[in-house]
Structure formats: C-alpha cells, structure tokens
Amino acid sequence: MKKGMFIVLEGPDRSGKSTQAGLLKTWLESLGHEIVVTREPGGTYLSEKIRKILLDPKSRIEPMTELFLYETSRIKHTLEKIIPALEAGKVIISDRYTLSTTAYQGYGRGLPLKTVETLNRIATMDLKPDLTVVMDIPDKIFSQRERLSHKVSGPDRIEREPDIFRRRVNRAYKLLARRPGVVRVNAGRPIGEIQEDIRARVSKIMKRLKI
C-alpha cells in the first residue's frame, strides 16, 4: 500500500530540474520527511548502466530501440526503488519520468503516441506521480544556459540532437503541462522564485494526501 508521495520534475535539459530537486529535498527534510532523490534514466545499478548506453554519443540507437531502453530502465527503477520507497512512507523526487518519454520519444522522435503511452503504463505498472512539475523555460534563456554549460562538459547523445528536435520537445512539454496531475512553472526566473512556486504546489498535494 502506497503511503508516501511521488513528485516528478520534468523539462528539457538545463531547465533547472536538479537544482530544484535539491532545494525541495532540503525543505521537505526540514519538515521531517524522509526523501529519496532519483533520476531517469537511472536510479538503480542496472538502470544507470542503461543510462550510460543511452547518453553515449557513440551509441547508434533507432527510435524504437531507444524507447524500449528507456522503458526497461524505468521498470527496474519503479520496482526496485520507487515502489519500495513509497510503501515505506518516503517522499520520492524523480528528475524525469514518463512525461519525458512522451515528449522525447513521442513528440521528439515521432514514435506513435499510443505505443509510447502503452509502454509507459506497462513500465510503471500504472503507478502515477502525485505531482509532475514541468519546468518551462523560454527558448532564449535556454540557449544561453546551454552555451555556458557546454564549456564545462561536452554534450551527450541527446543533447547533440539538432535544434529542431529540441524545439519539438519543448513544444511538447508545453502541451503536456495541461494534463491532469501536471503543473507548469516558469523556469526562466531566479532559482528562489521557482522554488517558492514548487513548494506551494507540493504543499497542496501534501494536504490532500494528509502527509
């Protein structure tokens, strides 16, 4: 039986997901909750191995192969990490989950959305996050952050995709943010302001779940 809370942060690379996940963790811990921060693809030994394959610029991966790799990583992550944490009453914060697959492999790669959604349901065994936050970042700010960060480390396989792919993904996120259980935050603002918004959204869910 699920007793904890499952929060997902979504959005393009460099939209600030990891930054916000860390701040959210600190706040929730100060309220006395036990927090698990995790990420997709990844989160378990096997899933992190799959992550390496997926992000390696040397990997040549067809769209459908890519979809299955993400979903394989997700099944393991959900079974081994997310469900046990929720059953133990913990709060789990995941940097990406199913919405990423819909945005990148569905809208980005152009795979049939029905196939993507079916595999998402299978891989999660129908587990739904209590809240998914989409970090929505204006294109201009996004390019600035991207230029800065690539000076430190080279782009991974997905980051090497052309701008048109990224634009499709970003547009998809705006659309997906209208789904039930999903909220959009303007991620083009100072870190503290974004965090305040996220905390307000999370507070609402905690009240509803009575945790």
Q: Which stretch binds ligand ADP (CB under 6 A): 7-15, 43-51, 54-62, 116-124?
A: 7-15
Q: Three-state SS string across 131-164, please?
A: EEEEEECCHHHHHHHHHHHHCCCCCCCCCCCCHH
161 binds, among ligand ADP, Mg ion, none (CB under 5 to 8 A by kind): none
Contact residues for Mg ion (CB under 5 A)?
17-18
Report yes or no: 50 and 65 within 8 Å, Cβ to Cβ. no
Q: What string marks each residue from 171 to 190 as x (binds ligand ADP by CB under 6 A) or -?
A: -------------------x
* CB 211 to Mg ion: min, Å: 26
Report the Cα–Cα distance between both ends of the chain, in Å, rounded. Answer: 15
Choice between 18 and 26, CB closer to ligand ADP: 18
3-state secondary structure of 19: helix
Q: Longest Cα pair distance anywhere in the chain, in angstroms?
A: 47
The residues pairing with 66 across neighbouring beta strands, listed in sequence order, are none
Closer Cβ to Mg ion, 17 or 109, answer by number: 17
Q: Which chain residues interact with ligand ADP by CB under 6 A?
A: 11, 13-19, 95, 145, 149, 190-191, 194
